Amino acid sequence: VKSTLKSFSAAASMGKIAFLSLCFLLSSSLSQVRPSPADPWEGDMDTVILDRNNFTSYIQSQKLVMVEFYTPWCGHCRGFAPQYAEAARELKKDGIPLAKVNMDQELNHPFAGEYGISGFP
- Summarize the confidence of residues 5-25 as an average pLDDT: 47
3 state DSSP class of 70: strand
Question: Other CB atoms closer than 10 Å to residue 19's CB: what's the count?
Answer: 12
Q: Among 34-38, 84-88, 112-116, which is the least confidently predicted range?
A: 34-38
76 has catalytic annotation:
yes
Question: 43, 75, 95, 109: which one is catalytic?
Answer: 75
23 has catalytic annotation:
no
Q: What is the mean pLDDT of the chain?
A: 79
Q: What is the pTM of this model?
A: 0.71
| Closest to 50 in 3D by CA, of 82, 88, 24, 16 | 88
Question: 23, 43, 77, 95: which one is catalytic?
Answer: 77
- Summarize the confidence of residues 61-88 as an average pLDDT: 94
Is the pLDDT confidence value at 43 over 80? yes
